[in-house]
Structure 1
């Protein structure tokens, strides 16, 4: 069994980029890795009394909300350590989106988007579909996965409904090929097979109750900031190098979508993907 801890970074008020990313960890190692990060966070906070006890990466890395008591070098080093931990202990699943592209795709009338056209839910369904695709080949139920999102009461019900109802629109994300008369063709999916490696539905947890959700928040923010910097040539070269290096490390463990059938779902996600994000 696997556990996926998922968080997001970005909003329309903050810019054009939205990233949702999850860490997939084997259940047998979950307690070990949770304890490890809890200890690393405790040691870090002990060195900086008075700093907040919950890690919200954007506030943390920018020295806001009480984090200004921690030096910039210490903050960058801890962010680097978190990304190293994520790359070491998990597989990374994510999606990087452009709000401008998303709005244009929805306004075009070309696509029939489920989840009431909600960008947060559609990102969540992509991550869930990608996990389903990679886990459905595991034998002896080793790929069964519990999805744990950072609590979002406004959007989370749409992801839960999408998974529970197993909407066929998402089939192309994880359809497998089969041999028919010696040729490969995409297999048809039926209700019991849709999202059959996602256990029940999606679950939510408060980030302060889960250190691994806080690591997922850091991963999401790193990807988001890197995408933002690709369209800001005037940005400080040191910041660009920092995030490019972190993304290179994370990308070594990030799963890609790979080959898929032709479908509206795939066309939609290609249309809304940020230009610098590789599906």
Structure 2
């Protein structure tokens, strides 16, 4: 296999590798580093005996991601305030035409699920991602991780139970989520506290991620009154030279706020029964760099 052919094969599978690494790590920069290391190993390997390049590359990427997870100290100890994944553009386009498959992929990369995955062990997280998001058979996952199939099934069962117990049941209608996002934005900008509270569930939660590098709540806000007051206050303070645009992030509609041509914040909602159940606000500038090209 020539270097050119090796490059072509790797680039063909890069989206899958990046998808695995991002779900494992929750940060695009880490995922890209892992995929780059996978390329170095692929380009320097003896590929003559590799019959299934995709399986080989997913195995290498998964093991590298596990190693990276084990090297990272607890984010809860290092991070200032609540932690959210780095937002990721997920416009699947025509590449994933099947509605059911799109729903699975969107759910596996949602902010709510990625936050839950943070509490799994690296091996549990790897098994969950490979099985639930990408549909790999247990036997193949066992080969990738050099574990017995029975052990992999146990890991998968524990991970699935953990996620199912903590995963809220939200509506996934993107049109409804966008309509509510537009309503939240309009009510906040107009200082309409009652209008905000009418859109929020009584037990709504707002999670703000600033990493201590910009202004955002350092604790999770709960109840419609507290969340509405925060949103109204944030809109009143305003963003210099503000503009807004909608895009698909982490499998659902999100609002990107720009200050001039620079990303300032991302707002995304989880919705159930026609009302907002969770509000995610990402303001850590390190996590918004990948969106600068969209400004």
Computing the radius of gyration from Cα coordinates, the structure with the larger value is 2
* Same fold by TM-score greater than 0.5: no
Query: With structure 1 as the length reference, what TM-score do the two structures score?
Result: 0.29
Higher helix share: 2
Query: With structure 2 as the length reference, what TM-score do the two structures score?
Result: 0.27
Higher relative contact order (CA 8 A, sep 6+): 1
